[in-house]
Structure formats: structure tokens, C-alpha cells
Chains A and B, each alone.
Chain A
Amino acid sequence: MEKKFFQTSIKDSLFTGLIALALFGPIVGLRTVAKNEVLEVHPKWFIVLIIVIVCAVGRFLTNLYVYNRDQKTGIQTSIGKSISNFLDTKGYQIALTAIIFSVIFPFLPFTDRYLMDIAIMMLTYIMLGWGLNIVIGLAGLLDLGYVAFYAVGAYSYALFAIHFGWSFWICLPIAGIFAAMFGVLLGFPVLRLRGDYLAIVTLAFGEMIRILLLNWYQLTKGPDGLTGIPRPSFFGLPFKSFPDEGEQTFHTFFGIEYDPMQRIIFLYYLILVLALITNLFTIKIRRLPIGRAWEALREDEIACKSLGVNPRNTKLTAFAIGAMFGGFAGSFFATRQAFISPESFTFIESAIIVAIVVLGGMGSQTGVVLATVFLIGLIEVFRDFESYRMIAFGGAMVLIMIFRPRGILATRKPTITLEKSSSK
């Protein structure tokens, strides 16, 4: 038995090596160089050899230690189990620690401008992930065009703030409402679609919004983008180094030195609060009838109908609420950047957010955080090796899929339990 397994593993890894050779041979091995207006082929067989060996050996090792189901001590089961056990038992403490850490983060000694920027970016993605989690994780509607609502939020915030001069706190809910309206707009035509068909339509919707923004020049300035979006103020106190005559600013009001970090720290707390609101809202709504209906709809739509649950309203609210949080995140994005253009809202953004939700474990709030830190953090670590970033990103996804095929956190806790509600 053991020996036979060994043999099939070797066969399998040799086969993997062959596939790697067929793939990387032409892609990596044959390099064309233009020399004196003549195209020459420079073969790089050594690198191909290394790649093929890495693939074959890697496959052999995963066969032996990960996919080996006879061996109870396989890495997959042990690592997976210990992770989920740890997170199950200590979930509350971990969440609390994470929140405390993120609150004191700006004042830690090693925190600098660069880390703050990354933290703000991560929190934006976490918020988007939590928003999309309502649509994908709870309601089970695979939405590949989520970035559209992010864009609608950003543009409606920017347009209202620029043209009417309204403050951040007025424009924020307006942007959210606009995004929610677009959510309903997308929701209506796709009510009957599920799975892959739904994914295609939402993908197209995301592209439509981007192309609309690109071509509606009178309103959106097309590819030039919108500039001069007002920065947020601290309850009416702007962050400025040189205040106008008689103007109160943040640093004059509190009588402290001006420091550009003040605005960054404020932005950080702003997105932290927005993200936490998204999270609390989702946790709460999951326990309400509507949240339970979303999950029921994900499980079985026909059974829902037979119980008198209105699938149309249930789906539309999921789209609308998910889109609303996307819109909030969009307005934050607009006010942080002070400049937005359609380029920021391409399909790759949707793909990253979907990846965060799926890799985190559908429907898991903590999973979204872990996946964001893992994926975005990894992309940032590889910032200096520009061309390897996407390889790292892809590699991370492959690793998660090998070790945790249903996402980092795949366990689902019931929204209501008999013990708790009867002991109340």
C-alpha cells in the first residue's frame, strides 16, 4: 500500500513536471530579443529547468504530506484543525485584541506614514469585504461587479461635495443611498439568475458603470477624473498648515503644532469607524429575520418560496445594503484621494474583493480581516519586487485553497440557539 502510493506520487509529479515544461517552455524559455531590427530567439533553458524541478518536487511533497489521506497526520488536516479550533475557542479575544490594536496603532512607536497608508488601504478593503460579504457570503449572490457601487459612492460623493460644497457627513449618507439605488437597479434584472449567470451579468454591470464614467464627460470629466474633492474636516475644523484669515483649523483650535500626520490619523480613525459600523451592522442583521432569510435563500430558494418568504424583496435588500456599504467606502476613498478617475474602479478591484470574501471563508467576518491582511499585506511586502507581486498574490491564493479549501474560516455559527434564548 505504502509503496504503491509512493509510486503513484512519483508518476504524478513527473507528469506535473511535463505540464510545467509544456507551459513554461514557450512562455519563459523562448525569449525574443529585437537586435538590429531582427528578432532573435534567446533560449533560457536553465530557468525553465529550475521551474520544472520546483513544480515536480512541490507536487511530490504536496502529494506526500497534504493530499495523503491515509496518513492521519497530514499537514492539511492538522493545520486546518488547529487553526479553526484556535479561532473557534478564542474568537472573541482575538477580535477584541485586533480592535484594541487597531485603535492604538497610529500611536505605536514604529508607525510611520507608509504603514498608516497601508493600514488605511487595508481597512478600506476590509470594509468592502464586509459589505460584499452580505451579498456573497450571506445571500449567496455571486457579485463580480461590486466595484461599481464603490465607484458610484465615490463619484456621487465627489460631485455633491464639489458642486454643492456640502460637508463629508452630509455627502456620506447621500453617496450610500445612491449606491443602494444602483444596487436595486442591478438587482431587478438579475432576480431570476443564479450562480455563473449572475456572475456574468454583475461583471458586465461593473464594466458598464466604469465605461459610463469614462464617457459621460460633462458630468464626470471622463478619463481626466475629478479633482479638488474637499478633504474631510474634523467636525468643521479643517486640516491646513496655513489657515485663512480668521479661520479655525484643527491645530489652532487645539493649540498644537501642525503636522500632516494629523489628517492621516483622522482618516485612519474615520475608516476604522466606518468599517466597524459595517461589521456591527452585519453581525446584528444576520440575527434578524431578514438576515436569516438571506441565508435561507442561499441554501434553497424553492424552499424559501414554499415558506412564504418573498425572494424578490429579500434579494433586493441584500443587493441594496451591500451596495450601500460599498458606497460609503467609495466616499471615503474619494475624500482620501481628493482625486478620482475611472481607472481606480477596474475589474481587478472587484476581483480582489471577491477573492478576500471567498478566501476568508464565505460569510465569515473574521475571515475577511485575515484574508485582507494576508493578501494586501503580501502585495505590499512585494512592492519592491514589482513584477513578482502578482505571482505572490496567485501563490497566496493557491496556498489557501490547498490548506483551507473552503476559506480560512469556514465554520458557521447559528444566528440563534435554543440554549441561549431559553435561558434568557
Chain B
Amino acid sequence: MSQKLLDVENLTMKFGGLVAIDNLSFSADKDKITSIIGPNGAGKTTVFNCLTGFYKASAGSMFLNKENERLNLRKFSDFKVAQKAGVARTFQNIRLFPQMSVLENLMVAQHNKLMDASGFTILGLFNSPSFVKKEKEAVGISKYWLDIIGLTHRADDDAGDLPYGDQRKLEIVRAMCINPHLLCLDEPAAGLNAKESAELNKLLLFIKNEKKTGILLIEHDMSVVMEISDHVVVLNYGKKIFQGSAKETKNSPEVIEAYLGTEE
């Protein structure tokens, strides 16, 4: 069997009587961008919330295949999905730490690594050389990402003071700072103008090609979806109605029907 990065099998999520996701199966490749699209309320964000441990799925399994282990994401609860399995995510409404500086935002993302290095704070209190070294490395990683999104000059400003488009980019690189295997982006292009969308595409392609990180993308902005997706999964009412390449999706009658309705 081919090694996919993520295998979602028969995932079902019920809220009381409401079936938000109905027996959904799909997979995402390493170093590929997989888009999940669908009309409003199709259950896209719910899929993310199940994947990243914010919801506990009612049934099904989600396997993350690392080099030599196969983890069932259902077994991890909220923060452990990021900590142990390496699945990072961003949010539909940006969730930065607005009153902390840009650099601090990226440092918090490297918390677990630094926490170990600080010997549960005790070594850190005494400035042990190993901790100082690790902290410097972490600053280096943060600076690397800030250089990529061109925000190095604002590193010490409050994250909440950045323009909207920069906040989006910062949230994405913050998620990258946990060094994830899979990056889940919830509508990263929402509210961006054409130029910012183009920059976003560049950033996502960089992450895919250079970092070999699998990207799972929820998006409404079709210019983003069509331009960079390798694979598209279309949801409607919690069910998968289509999957294929971007081009195939564009021409699929089922998808057009889901979005525009049927011709009478």
C-alpha cells in the first residue's frame, strides 16, 4: 500500500442527532497540498477539529504515517495532537497572542522543546549553558521564518498591531515552528487582497516543496485552491461528493451542482 501521510477512514462526527461528518474517507500526501472545499456548513472545519483533537470523533480512524510509526490521531486529546503527533493548525479567525511580540509568538510555538531544555524551569533559572544554547537556536528558527515572510523588522512589535495579512502569515509560520508533519490551514486566504493571496500561495508552495510538510487546506478562495492544490476533496452535508485534481474538480458536474444548485 502506498504510504500516504494521512489516512482518514470512515470518520463520523455527530452532535446529538446532527451528523456533521458522515463516513468520510480521504487521504493526504506528504509534500502535497490537499484542499477540502465545500459550501458553508459542509463540515470542513469539523474535520479539522476532529483531526487536531478539539473534537472527539464519534467513529472512524485517522492515521498519521510517520517514517516508522503509524499513529491514530483519535487516541490523542487536544494539545497532544500537536505535541506528540506533530499536527499543527491555524484558525479561521486568527488566533495569535495579540499582546505578545511577534518573536514571542514564535517562541511559544517552540515551547515543548524549550521546556525540556530548561529542565522544567530549574536549569533555566540558573541560565544553564545548554538551555541558553537551545534558546538561541529557537530564536534562530524564529528569525529564519520571519525572514521568509519578511517580518523580521517587526519582530519586537506586538503581534496584534500587525496588518491583517501579516497576521495570517505569522499564524502560519507560528504553526510551522512546532516542526509539524502535517499543517492544517483553515481558510488562510480569507480577507486577503489579491497581492496578499499571491504571497500566501508562494509561502504555501515553499512549505510544501522545501519543508516537505503535508498541507491540508480549507479554502473558499478558488484562485488559491485552483492554483496550488494537488488534490481536492469536496464535501457537502458532511459527505464526500468528489475528489480529484483541481482541474477535474472545476469541471465536475457534482461539484457545480453542490455550489450552484441544479438546473430545473
CB distance from B96 to the nearest CB of A (A): 7
**Given the complex, which residues of A lie within 8 Å of B98, measured CB to CB?**
299
**Given the complex, which residues of B lie within 8 Å of A419, measured CB to CB?**
156
User: In the complex, are the beta carbons of B95 and A303 less than 8 A apart?
Assistant: yes
Residue-wise interface mask of B (92-104) relative to A, using a CB-CB cutoff of 8 A (1 in contact, 0 not):
0001111111011
User: In the complex, are the beta carbons of A300 and B96 less than 8 A apart?
Assistant: yes
| Cβ contact of A305, chosen from B78, B96, B124, B142, cutoff 8 A | B78
User: In the complex, are the beta carbons of B97 and A422 less than 8 A apart?
Assistant: no
| Cβ contact of A309, chosen from B84, B108, B121, cutoff 8 A | B108
User: In the complex, are the beta carbons of A303 and B103 less than 8 A apart?
Assistant: no
| Stretch among A202-210, A255-263, A290-298 lining the B interface | A290-298
**Given the complex, which residues of A lie within 8 Å of B125, measured CB to CB?**
281, 284-285, 288
| Stretch among A14-22, A45-53, A170-178, A410-418 lining the B interface | A410-418
CB distance from A44 to the nearest CB of B (A): 49
| Cβ contact of B107, chosen from A292, A304, A306, A311, cutoff 8 A | A292
B249 interface residue (CB < 8 Å to A): no
Identity of the chain A residue whose Cβ is nearest the Cβ of B157 in the assembled complex: A414
A415 CA / B54 CA spacing, docked (Å): 29
| Cβ contact of B95, chosen from A284, A306, A308, A418, cutoff 8 A | A306
With contacts A290-B118, A308-B112 taken as known, whether A416 is within 8 angstroms of B139 at the C-beta atoms is yes
With contacts A296-B100, A306-B91, A414-B156 taken as known, whether A289 is within 8 angstroms of B82 at the C-beta atoms is no
| Residues of B in contact, count (CB < 8 Å) | 47
| Cβ contact of A300, chosen from B95, B104, B142, cutoff 8 A | B95
A296 CA / B98 CA spacing, docked (Å): 9
User: In the complex, are the beta carbons of A308 and B104 less than 8 A apart?
Assistant: no
B175 interface residue (CB < 8 Å to A): yes
**Given the complex, which residues of B lie within 8 Å of A227, measured CB to CB?**
none
CB distance from A205 to the nearest CB of B (A): 25
Residue-wise interface mask of B (79-123) relative to A, using a CB-CB cutoff of 8 A (1 in contact, 0 not):
111111000111100011111110110011101101101100100
User: In the complex, are the beta carbons of A309 and B79 less than 8 A apart?
Assistant: yes
User: In the complex, are the beta carbons of B112 and A309 less than 8 A apart?
Assistant: yes
**Given the complex, which residues of B lie within 8 Å of A302, measured CB to CB?**
54, 91, 95
How many A-B Cβ pairs are below 8 Å?
A: 126
CB distance from A308 to the nearest CB of B (A): 3
User: In the complex, are the beta carbons of B111 and A421 less than 8 A apart?
Assistant: no
User: In the complex, are the beta carbons of B103 and A418 less than 8 A apart?
Assistant: yes
**Given the complex, which residues of A lie within 8 Å of B167, measured CB to CB?**
none
| Cβ contact of A289, chosen from B97, B99, B100, B118, cutoff 8 A | B118
Identity of the chain B residue whose Cβ is nearest the Cβ of A412 in the assembled complex: B99
**Given the complex, which residues of A lie within 8 Å of B80, measured CB to CB?**
308
B52 interface residue (CB < 8 Å to A): yes
User: In the complex, are the beta carbons of A293 and B111 less than 8 A apart?
Assistant: yes
B152 interface residue (CB < 8 Å to A): yes
B136 interface residue (CB < 8 Å to A): yes
Residue-wise interface mask of A (399-424) relative to B, using a CB-CB cutoff of 8 A (1 in contact, 0 not):
00000000000001011111101101
User: In the complex, are the beta carbons of A310 and B79 less than 8 A apart?
Assistant: yes
A307 CA / B97 CA spacing, docked (Å): 12
User: In the complex, are the beta carbons of B52 and A309 less than 8 A apart?
Assistant: no
A230 CA / B89 CA spacing, docked (Å): 57
**Given the complex, which residues of B lie within 8 Å of A424, measured CB to CB?**
136
Identity of the chain B residue whose Cβ is nearest the Cβ of A418 in the assembled complex: B155
User: In the complex, are the beta carbons of B139 and A418 less than 8 A apart?
Assistant: yes
A305 CA / B108 CA spacing, docked (Å): 11
User: In the complex, are the beta carbons of B121 and A285 less than 8 A apart?
Assistant: yes
**Given the complex, which residues of B lie within 8 Å of A310, measured CB to CB?**
79, 83
B178 interface residue (CB < 8 Å to A): yes
Could you name 15 residue pairs across A and B whose Cβ atoms are closer than 8 Å?
A281-B125, A288-B124, A292-B108, A293-B111, A296-B111, A299-B100, A302-B54, A302-B95, A305-B78, A307-B175, A308-B112, A311-B79, A416-B103, A417-B155, A418-B156
Beyond the given A285-B121, A299-B96, A299-B99, please list 18 additional residue pairs across the A-B interface where CB-CB is below 8 A. A288-B125, A290-B115, A290-B124, A292-B108, A296-B97, A299-B100, A300-B95, A303-B91, A303-B95, A305-B78, A306-B175, A307-B82, A307-B108, A307-B109, A308-B83, A417-B101, A418-B143, A418-B156
